[in-house]
Structure 1
Amino acid sequence: MKKILLLSAYKSDSHASWVKWLTQNLSADWRVLELPGRYYRWRIRGNPLSWLDELPALLNDWQPERILATSMVDIATLKGLFPQLAAVPVSYYFHENQFAYPQGEGQHHSVDPQMVQLYGALSADECLFNSQFNRDTFLAGVDALLKKLPDCKPADLRARLQPKCRVLPVPVNPLAVGEKIPGLILWNHRWEYDKKPEDFLTILRGLSSKHVNFKLALLGPRAEKTPPVLQQIRSEFAAAIVADGMVSRAEYEHWLGAAPVVVSTAIHEFQGLSVLEAVSAGAVPVVPDDLCYREQYAAANRYAPGQVEQAAAQIIAALQQYQPVATPAAFMQAGADWKSWLEQA
């Protein structure tokens, strides 16, 4: 049984679900080190320090044959700090890449996160991405960064990196299709700037102005302090809300199975697991013609980014003539692809 050290430096919900799927479905001798999904800048720069005492204790009587590390992990530094890891092959997994991550209001730009991922990719034996969009924006971002650097820089890093890059999505376990609730619109994303919920509010106002009779399931993680846009939706559309907040997994799957339509207004999405899960449960996606969505859904399910009137029209059409779409085959195949990865690792 292959010995695999799995390092995840930022245990968000999606990263934790990925780790759980791998360790439960792939037969290997797993050792897992995870760090909490908070204090992002400290996590991406400080994870070698955070594991400085824990890793030696683990490696004292166990030596991995493969390292699977997320791209938040400063794997280049870890290999330098721990000589017993220096020769261990590394698979570097990109849930996201810092070259294509939108900057929020009040955030300061820093090249450090990009450099961590660049050094990690260079030191890894293979770079795995959860979507083509993720891979392509990473490689384009590396090119753009090199053009900005003043001097003493290597030639064409893309040519060095591209041959070891491949797409390997996070597996999606299809959910049961339930009895659809007429008019139910699902929002199942984080209530943060990169999902642009302000556009969702505008879409709802547009539907209301057209006298569309709809219901709302407002799911997904949210901060302790209620986001203003969520407060506004609650105020304007209280009578339409049938679910609101973090619910149990069983309740979550119920609402996904009951919703005819799932909406995204994201300005950042590298795989879009929440929409993929909803689509597997029979929801029709209404998503931006951008990001990872272009490789997943037909043009009929995509609207021009920011064009809320077009999005509203697509929602109305989906509610009036409900026709579910197939979950993209590549993502349904991902479980088998991960098993093949383990055989080759």
Structure 2
Amino acid sequence: MRALLLSAYSAVSHRFWAEQVMAHTEAEWTCLTLPPRHFRWRIRGNPLTWALKEHHTLSQPYDLVLATSMVDLATLIGLYPHLGRAKKVVYFHENQFAYPESDEQAPQGEAKMVNLYAALAADEVVFNTAYNRDSFIDGARIFLKRMPENLPAAKWLEALRQNARVLPVPILPIASDVGRQNMPQRIVWNHRWEYDKNPDDFFGALFALSEEGVAFELAVMGQQFRQTPPVFDQARERLANQIVAWGPQPEAQYHALLASAGIVVSTTWHEFQGLAIMEAAQRGVLPLVPDRLCFPELYPGAYRFDGTRKGLTDTLRAWLTAPSSRPAPLATAQWEWPAWQGEYRALLS
């Protein structure tokens, strides 16, 4: 089987997924990706970029086209009609209807339409979580109701909800004892340094605990950008005595720091699966996640707080000062490739 994988915004998690899908399925793969920058242009311009740069590759015959939801698949099929005769699978790592927009951003109407057209053009639509699926469908219904025409989309959207598959991005298995030296007082942040990850609540809770005299260590990692929320600079100054690592780390050091942590926290307003939290939990770190978004379907209640800064502060205080309040490390085999390889092969066969 000749298969074409298209990833129009190849962020870290997208790249990991693409590499692992190709490694764990039986096909003769060709892969086209585009860098994760200039989002507005990338999500709308990817067919033109590929048509001008990859015409020969796109002109080849394929049995399968696997595209991320960032790919304007409908336009690409219009430019290369023979691709429409292949089996077309669209994978949603995220959807634009559930993305929190900052005050500085204009509404992402075109990005939402690309998601919709991709779903319409596909033979199979796949989401990484049920939350991703439901927020896409519910968000699309609200979005279309605001448009000038009364489009009869409800029936199609509900059919999509029933027929879409939910397949997570699996993580790679690791040895159960690989480098684990979990320090109960060490807290790790391993997310993008952007507003949608809600660092204000995370650091606000740590400021409060530090002022109370609660003992903890802090490793702040994750992807950093030229412009970051001001709270990161404030935290580096106010929590200087607790910080053991700051900023992006080489891969080996990153995994070593993960395996040394006791608690990994998310306070995000935007998450559709959360590989960073999963990889930490896989190493014996206790995940502490808000009771919203994708987290209720992935984490039992013992690992969730109520989503407020106070709830986070109270749970962290208890975990740091009363060891008996801490849950046991979470089993993660259900997130790993051996649990999902059969379903991926069936999807792409």
Q: 1:39, 1:59 → 2: CA distance?
A: 23
> Does structure 2 retain, via aligned residues, the 8 Å contact 1:70–1:92?
yes
Q: Is 1:242–2:244 an aligned residue pair? A: yes
Quote the residue 2:99 is aligned against: 101
> Does structure 1 retain, via aligned residues, the 8 Å contact 2:333–2:339?
no
> Does structure 1 retain, via aligned residues, the 8 Å contact 2:303–2:327?
no
Aligned residue for 1:37, secondary structure, equals: coil
Aligned residue for 2:236, secondary structure, equals: helix
Q: 1:155 to 1:260 in 2, by over 3 A?
A: closer
Quote the residue 1:134 is aligned against: 132
Q: 2:49, 2:314 → 1: CA distance?
A: 49
Map 1:288-307 onto structure 2 (within 5 A). Answer: 288-305=290-307, 307=308
Amino acid at match of 1:342: R
Q: Is 1:342–2:345 an aligned residue pair? A: yes
Q: 2:327, 2:162 → 1: CA distance?
A: 40
Quote the residue 2:19 is aligned against: 20
Aligned residue for 2:112, secondary structure, equals: helix
Q: Which deviations, in whole Å up to 9, do the C-alpha atoms of 1:215-274 show, x marking residues without a partner? A: 101000011245421111110011111111111111111111111100111000000111
Q: Which deviations, in whole Å up to 9, do the C-alpha atoms of 1:283-317 show, x marking residues without a partner? A: 11111100111111122221122x21221221233
Q: 2:53, 2:162 → 1: CA distance?
A: 34
Offset at 1:56? 2.5
Say which is worse superposed, 311-320 or 253-262, in terms of deviation: 311-320
Amino acid at match of 2:47: P
Quote the residue 2:168 is aligned against: 169
Unaligned stretches of 5+ in structure 1? none
Aligned residue for 2:9, secondary structure, equals: strand
Aligned residue for 2:241, secondary structure, equals: helix
> Does structure 1 retain, via aligned residues, the 8 Å contact 2:185–2:217?
yes
Offset at 1:150? 2.7
Say which is worse superposed, 127-136 or 204-213, in terms of deviation: 204-213
Say which is worse superposed, 120-129 or 320-329, in terms of deviation: 320-329
Q: 1:290 to 1:152 in 2, by over 3 A?
A: closer
Q: Which deviations, in whole Å up to 9, do the C-alpha atoms of 1:65-107 show, x marking residues without a partner? A: 1111000000011111102212111110000001100002300
> Does structure 2 retain, via aligned residues, the 8 Å contact 1:260–1:318?
no
Amino acid at match of 1:240: Q
Amino acid at match of 1:114: K
Q: Is 1:331–2:329 an aligned residue pair? A: no
Q: Which deviations, in whole Å up to 9, do the C-alpha atoms of 1:105-128 show, x marking residues without a partner? A: 300113111111111101101111
> Does structure 2 retain, via aligned residues, the 8 Å contact 1:283–1:324?
no
Quote the residue 1:279 is aligned against: 281
Identity %: 42
Q: 1:212, 1:197 → 2: CA distance?
A: 20
Quote the residue 2:254 is aligned against: 252
Quote the residue 1:318 is aligned against: 319
Amino acid at match of 1:132: A
Q: Give the aligned length.
A: 341
Q: 1:281, 1:336 → 2: CA distance?
A: 18
Offset at 1:165? 0.7
Q: 1:330 to 1:131 in 2, by over 3 A?
A: farther
TM-score by length of 2: 0.93
Q: 2:93, 2:338 → 1: CA distance?
A: 16
Offset at 1:212? 0.7
Offset at 1:134? 0.3
Amino acid at match of 1:46: G
Offset at 1:189? 0.4
Quote the residue 1:33 is aligned against: 32
> Does structure 1 retain, via aligned residues, the 8 Å contact 2:58–2:80?
no
Amino acid at match of 2:189: W
Aligned residue for 2:65, secondary structure, equals: strand
Q: 2:251, 2:327 → 1: CA distance?
A: 25
Q: 2:153, 2:185 → 1: CA distance?
A: 55
Q: 1:94, 1:5 → 2: CA distance?
A: 17
Offset at 1:337? 2.4
Quote the residue 2:3 is aligned against: 4
> Does structure 2 retain, via aligned residues, the 8 Å contact 1:263–1:285?
yes
Amino acid at match of 1:341: Y
Offset at 1:336? 4.0
Offset at 1:27? 2.9
Map 1:55-94 onto structure 2 (within 5 A). Answer: 55-60=54-59, 62-94=60-92
Q: 1:82, 1:330 → 2: CA distance?
A: 39
Amino acid at match of 2:66: L
> Does structure 2 retain, via aligned residues, the 8 Å contact 1:301–1:314?
no
TM-score by length of 1: 0.94
Aligned Cα root-mean-square deviation (Å): 1.7
> Does structure 2 retain, via aligned residues, the 8 Å contact 1:6–1:31?
yes
> Does structure 2 retain, via aligned residues, the 8 Å contact 1:219–1:244?
yes
Amino acid at match of 2:200: E
